[in-house]
Structure 1
C-alpha cells in the first residue's frame, strides 16, 4: 500500500504540473490579450490608454516571455530571479528566446526592492510575488481591486462549503437507502415511483427548477399571503413583513437565518443529486444481487436482511463511491448555476463574475485549486475501494 501511495503521489504531482501549464496557457490564449476585456465593461471616459495597459502588463509580469512568465507565476519572482542569477544571465549564444538579465523582466515594485523579499515587512504584501506554490495569487484585477485573491476566495469559500456539504450529506443519507430498497423490491410500486422521480430529476434543468422554486416559494407565497422564503443571499439585512423570518421571529445574521436562506438552493441541488445517486445505487445493487456469492449466502440460510446489508450493499457501493468522491472538488468550486440563480455569494458565483470581468487571477486560482482537489479525489476513491470491497488490495 505504501509503494502504491508513493507512485500515486508522483503521478499526482505530474498531473498538477501539466494542469498549471494548461491553466496559465488559457491566460495567454485570450483573444486580444489578457487585459483586452478591461475596457469593454467601462465607459469611454474610464477606458485605459495603451500606455496604462502596458504599465499594468509590466506590473503583472505579462510582458515576459511565456516560459519565464509561467515560472514566475508558479515559483515567484524572488525564486526565479535568484536561481536565474545563480545559473547565469541569458546571453546571445545561450539559444534562449530572450537575452539580457533576469531582472529586466521584474515588476517595478520587485525591481525597486532588489529582486528579493528579504527584509520585507511581514505584515505587508511582499514586493516580489512568491508564486502559487507559496499560495501567492496576486491581487484581483477587477472584482476587488487592491485585495489579494486569497482574501477574496476566503470570503466566499465558507459559504460554498456549507452549501455543498449540506447537499452532499443529505443526498447520500437519502439516496443510498432508497436505491437499496428499490433494487430489493424491483418492479414494486416503490420502485416505479423511485424510477420516475430519478428520470425527472436527471432530465430537469437546474436553472429552470431553481427559477420555479423562486417563483413559488418567494413570489407566489408573498402574493398569496403565506410566509415566503428569501430568494437569495446568505443572511437577511432587513426583515420584511410577511417573510418567514418575520413569522418565525428570526433575527438577522443568525444560524436560523442562514438555514432559511439555504432552504431553496439546498432543495434544488439535493433533488438533482438524489435522483442520480439513487439510480446508480439501484443499478449497482441489482447487479450484485445476481452474483453467485449472494445466492450462496441465501443458500446457507442467512436472513435476507443480513444478505442485503452485509454481502450485497457493501459491494454495490463501489460505483457510487467513484461518483461521490468527485463531489470533493464540487464542495470547493460550488454549483455555478444554482449560486447564480439564487444570488448566493459562493465560489460558483465568484467564478462566473470573475469570468465576466476578465479577472484572470481569481479564475486561475479557482481552476488550480479545483485541479488539485480532483487528483486528491481520485486517490481518496482508490483508498475507499479497499475499505468498501475487501477483495481489492493495492500491494
Structure 2
C-alpha cells in the first residue's frame, strides 16, 4: 500500500499535472514511450524470426566457399576438404555470438546499443553497421521524400480539380485511370519501365549515377534526376491513385456540408468556397494517411531498389536477409521503423496545428 502511494505521488500525480498544463506535450511524450516499446517488441520479433529461418550465417559462408571451389574447377575431394569442420563451425558461431538462444543475443545487442551506442559490425563484410546504414539511408530518404512531395502536390491539385468536375466524362476518365494505376502491380510496372529504358536508351537502366556527388556536384544533380525519373514515375503512378481519390471524395463530402451552402448564400465566390474553406478540411484525412503513405513508400522502395540497382536501405536490407546478417537486418529494420513511427507522431502534431478542434489530452 505504501509502495502504491509513493508511486502515485512521484509518478502519477506529476504526470496528471503535466498532462493538464501541456496536453500536446504529454501526448508527444506518451507517443515517444510507445515508440520505444514498439521498437523493443519489433526487435525481439525480428530476432525470433531470424532464428526460425533455416541455417545461419556460418552455413552461408560454408556454402559460398564450396561454390567458389566448384566454380574454380576443383575436384570433388578438394571440395570436401574445403568444408569447415564441426569445431571450426562452432568456433565461428561463438565468434559471431550466434551460438546462444535468440533472446540472449537480442539482450546483448540491446545492451550494446543502449549503453555503448554501438550497432555492432556486419557479420559478412565486418564493416560497422552504422557506417553501412549511414551510407545508404539518405539515398532512400531522399528518393521517398521526393516521391511524397510529388504525390502530395499532384494529388491535391487533381483531387480538388476533379471534385469540381464530379459526374463529367473528365471525372469518370480520371477515376478510371486512378483505379487502374492503383491496382496495377508495382513490381510489374517497374519491370516494364526498365524494359522501356533498355529498349529505347532514353533513360539509364540503373537509378544512380556512376560517379560520386563530391566529384562534380552540379553534374551529379542533373544525372541523378535523369537516373531516378523512371523509378519516381513508378512510385508516383502507384501512389497518386489512392491519395487523389481520397482528396476528391473528401472535397465532395465537404461541398455538401451546410456551412458550404451558407457561404454560397452569402454570395462568396465559388473559388473562395473551394480554396479558403472546403480545401482546409481535406488536410485532416491526408495528414492522418500521410504516415501510412510514407511507410508504403519505404516498403515499396525495396523492390524498386533491387530492380533499378539503387543503393538504398531497401537493397541493403535484402542483401542482409539473404545472407542472414542478423546485426544488419535488425539495425536496418529498427531504423526504418523509427522513421515511420516518428512520421506518425509528426502527423498527429500537425493535426493539432491545422485543426483547432483537436486538443490532445484535454478534458
TM range (shorter): 0.7 to 0.9
Where does 1:220-239 land on structure 2 (aligned, <5 Å)? 221-222=200-201, 228-236=202-210
CA contact (8 A) 2:251 2:278 kept: yes
Could you list the runs of 5+ residues in structure 1 that have no partner in the other structure? Answer: 77-130, 223-227, 238-249
Distance, in Å, in 2 between the alignment partners of 1:309 and 1:146 is 56
Where does 1:332-343 land on structure 2 (aligned, <5 Å)? 335-343=301-309
Distance 1:198 1:134, change over 3 A: farther
* Structure 2 match to 1:72: 108
Aligned-residue RMSD, C-alpha: 2.5
* Structure 1 match to 2:275: 309
Give TM-score, length-normalised by structure 1.
Answer: 0.74
What is the CA distance between 1:3 and its match in structure 2?
A: 2.4
Q: Which has the higher helix share?
A: 2
Distance 1:341 1:132, change over 3 A: farther
Distance 1:377 1:35, change over 3 A: farther
Deviations 1:15-74 (A, max 9, x none): 222222222222322234564444344426454433233222222322334443322110
Picking from 343, 347, 363, the partner of 1:381 is 347
Distance, in Å, in 1 between the alignment partners of 2:30 and 2:217 is 53
Where does 1:33-52 land on structure 2 (aligned, <5 Å)? 33=56, 35-43=58-66, 45=79, 47-52=83-88
Picking from 286, 295, 309, the partner of 2:261 is 295
* Structure 1 match to 2:149: 169
CA contact (8 A) 1:329 1:374 kept: yes
CA contact (8 A) 2:148 2:294 kept: no
* Structure 1 match to 2:120: 138
Deviations 1:131-169 (A, max 9, x none): 266542222123xx1211111112212221221121111
CA contact (8 A) 1:183 1:286 kept: yes
SS in 1 for 2:267: coil
Could you list the runs of 5+ residues in structure 2 that have no partner in the other structure? Answer: 1-23, 68-78
* Structure 2 match to 1:8: 31
Distance, in Å, in 2 between the alignment partners of 1:379 and 1:47 is 51
Distance 1:253 1:302, change over 3 A: closer
What is the CA distance between 1:373 and its match in structure 2?
A: 2.2
Which shifted more, 56-65 or 198-207? Answer: 56-65
Give TM-score, length-normalised by structure 2.
Answer: 0.80
CA contact (8 A) 2:305 2:315 kept: yes
CA contact (8 A) 2:57 2:325 kept: no
SS in 2 for 1:335: helix
Distance 1:134 1:317, change over 3 A: farther
CA contact (8 A) 1:176 1:278 kept: yes
* Structure 2 match to 1:58: 94
> Does 1 or 2 have the higher relative contact order (CA < 8 Å, sep 6+)?
2
Q: How many equivalent residue pairs?
A: 321
SS in 2 for 1:232: coil
SS in 2 for 1:73: helix
* Structure 2 match to 1:156: 136
CA contact (8 A) 1:164 1:331 kept: yes
Distance, in Å, in 2 between the alignment partners of 1:134 and 1:270 is 41
Distance 1:38 1:164, change over 3 A: same
Distance, in Å, in 2 between the alignment partners of 1:206 and 1:133 is 41
